[in-house]
């Protein structure tokens, strides 16, 4: 089974459209989304509708939960909270209903999926060796998929230690070698220094994973954010992948 994995779209419609165009050039059997469909960006309803139609499995993220009122927005950074409050004013009932139906964790086809981590599916960032080791220790399937950090990662459990690190464009992982933790990176707001939208291609029968990036018109998303008077820092960072 071939799987496309996306995460952290954050209401960035143009990034999502370009990722899906790249995915559709060699259509997978299924599409998995690791959450945070909304927050930060200007097109929450369009993104939610597309994911609802396209994703075979989708998780809910912390920004989704904050906008639904299930997390206190005072726990978010000020710009994130401001964008969440704006999103609450424009989110349609059908978008809200879809987000309400989702969970922050799931299992599928030899993989365990978490928006953030197995230890805390909503909030924990898997960015340190300790957090990666804990994520693999707390799971049993060969493949663990996480999002949330907006940083593409490929980390393998090798004996009692770890191998791997950041996963830039073109990184490949040999899934047959052992148990892996993978983060596809962010579609809508990358934070690894590469502003291109990120996604992950899995070929489970072949035991391979490949990290992909695709350029999209960042300036169009920035213009839409400014039209809606969303925080300028959120628009500016898109051009730099930070």
Q: What is the pLDDT of residue 235?
A: 98
pLDDT band for position 159 (50/70/90)?
A: confident
Q: CA–CA separation, 107 vs 162, rounded Å? A: 23
Q: Give the residue-averaged pLDDT of 16-28.
A: 97
**Is residue 215 scored above 90 in pLDDT?**
yes
Query: In degrees, to the nearest 5, what angle opens at C-alpha 213 toward C-alphas 209 and 219?
Result: 160
Biggest alpha carbon distance in the chain? 52
Residue 44, pLDDT > 90, answer yes
The residue ranges of every structural domain in the chain are 2-237
Condensed to tens digits (0 to 9), the pLDDT of residues 184-214 reads 999 999 999 999 999 999 999 999 999 999 9
Could you read off the pLDDT of 55-110 as tens digits, one per residue? 999 999 999 999 999 999 999 999 999 999 999 999 999 999 999 999 999 999 89
Mean pLDDT of 177-185: 96
Phi and psi at 160, nearest 5°, equal -95, 0
Residues linked to residue 105 through DSSP beta bridges, in sequence order: 114
CB neighbours (10 Å) of residue 233? 10
Cβ neighbours around 110 below 10 Å, total: 11
CA 15 to mean position of chain CA atoms: 12
pLDDT for the residue 163: 92
Contacts of residue 33, Cβ cutoff 8 Å, sequence gap at least 6: 5, 6, 7, 9, 51, 55, 57, 58, 59
The answer, yes or no, to whether residue 158 has pLDDT greater than 90, is: no
- Whole-number mean pLDDT of the chain? 97
Class of domain 2-237: alpha beta
59 φ, ψ to 5°?
-100, 165
Q: What pLDDT, on a 0 to 100 scale, did the predictor assign at position 161?
A: 86
Contacts 24+ apart (CB under 8 A), 212-215: 212/22, 212/169, 213/168, 213/169, 213/185, 214/18, 214/19, 214/21, 214/22, 215/18
CA 182, chain centre distance (Å) = 11
Percent of the chain with pLDDT over 70: 100
CB within 8 A of 19, min separation 6: which ones?
6, 187, 197, 199, 214, 216
């Amino acid at each position: 089974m071939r799987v496309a994995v996306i995460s952290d779209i954050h209401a960035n419609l143009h990034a999502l459209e370009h990722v899906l165009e790249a995915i559709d050039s060699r259509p997978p059997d299924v599409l998995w989304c690791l959450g945070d469909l909304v927050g930060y960006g200007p097109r929450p309803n369009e993104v939610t509708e597309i994911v609802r139609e396209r994703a075979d499995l989708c998780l809910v993220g912390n920004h989704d939960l904050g906008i639904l009122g299930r997390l206190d927005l005072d726990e978010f950074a000020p710009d994130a909270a401001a964008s969440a409050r704006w999103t609450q004013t424009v989110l349609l009932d059908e978008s809200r209903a879809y987000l309400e139906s989702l969970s922050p964790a799931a299992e599928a086809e030899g993989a365990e999926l978490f928006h953030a981590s197995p230890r805390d599916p909503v909030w924990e960032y898997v960015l340190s060796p300790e957090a990666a080791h804990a994520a693999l220790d707390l799971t049993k399937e060969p493949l663990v998929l996480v999002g949330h950090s907006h940083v593409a990662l490929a980390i393998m459990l090798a004996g009692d230690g770890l191998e791997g690190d950041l996963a830039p464009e073109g990184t490949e992982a040999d899934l047959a070698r052992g148990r892996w933790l993978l983060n596809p990176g962010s579609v809508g707001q990358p934070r690894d220094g590469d502003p291109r939208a990120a996604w992950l291609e899995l070929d489970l029968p072949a035991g391979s994973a490949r990290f992909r990036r695709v350029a999209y018109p960042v300036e169009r998303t920035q213009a839409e954010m400014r039209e809606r008077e969303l925080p300028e820092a959120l628009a500016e960072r898109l051009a730099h992948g930070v």
